[in-house]
Amino acid sequence: MAKNHLDYLSKTTVIPATPAIPAIPTIPVACVFAVLCIFFFLNASGCTETGVKDYTLPANPLHEESPNSPSSESFPSSPESSDAFGGENTSLEVVFCPREKCRETLTAALNTSRESIHCAFFELNLPEIISLLEKKSETQDVKLVVDSLHYDHVHNLSFARHDNRSALMHNKFCVIDQATLTTGSFNPTERGNFYNNNNLVVVSSSLLAQNYEDEFQELWSGTFGKGSATTNPGVSGKNQGEDITLASYFCPEDSCADVVQEHIRQANHSINFMTFSFTLGPLATDLIIRHRANVSVRGIMETRNADNRSVYNLLSYQGIEVMLDTNPYNMHH
């Protein structure tokens, strides 16, 4: 049984129980898509509590270290320390739907292909995207993996496969000519494009695209769940003359929650987050610690997932500014 979120707090710090709110139906997927400082955690989906280290709230959270806190050596290497960085001239485009045109942006990216398109989507039902992939498959190497829950939309495509398991294949990415990738929270569906709040990221980087291609090949070969860890997650380059650093992690094999946790602990000025679902107690504990260390912490959460399994009550009670979205559909970041 999962621990109550308050179990992660130090016994030396007395925190009254938070008032309960009525249970709201929710989708049992704990995913965090976080932008911390200059790091983009791309498509960090499928995170589970088993991938997070326990961390006890110190009696004085203003101290940077405590006897109960794990050393930084216990975490995965930060992108800065990776030897795989290349000096690519990287282009980066981020769009937010429904305010901006995710469908058209994805279509434009797919239309640049000359040799191959490899996509993994939790769900795909936009007829324009399906037709485009069908047309491309006549002359190019097109492959598609979808979650078994939504295979019925594409079952007639000769280049489509599904995961055939109870857990979710929750990816949302395409690798184009092994040089460009699309990723983010956007499912190419009617709801995803016209109603839900989503983001779509288009990155031109052969190094980062290779990470996604490796992940896709695992899925295509039938390896779902915990595959091989990403060897070199980070790449650096320039976008419109600015130095940027991008890192990609795949759950559960890359311990995505641990990576997010590491950077939360390193934040000195601000942490802004948006999450469709947030149930990981240890991450909430670290946000509270940074908040008490005078780091600005603000968040937006999907209203229907702010139930008793969520950390919403805990964060709000600790004085962290957390808004609930007002979209009658889904805030799906």
Q: Give tens-digit pLDDT for 208-267.
A: 999 999 999 999 999 888 888 888 887 777 777 778 788 899 999 999 999 999 999 999
The percentage of residues in the chain with a pLDDT greater than 70, rounded to a whole number, is 73
pLDDT, tens only, 171-206: 999 999 999 999 999 999 999 999 999 999 999 999
pTM: 0.75
| Domains of the chain by start residue, with CATH | 87-225+233-251 (3.30.870.10), 255-332 (3.30.870.10)
| Residue 238, strand partner residues | 89, 243
- Is residue 42's pLDDT more than 50? no
pLDDT, tens only, 131-159: 999 999 999 999 999 999 999 999 999 99
pLDDT, tens only, 125-137: 999 999 999 999 9
Q: What is the Cα–Cα distance from 168 to 312, expressed in whole angstroms?
A: 24
Give the pLDDT of residue 200. Answer: 97
Least confident of 11-20, 35-44, 69-78, 139-148: 35-44
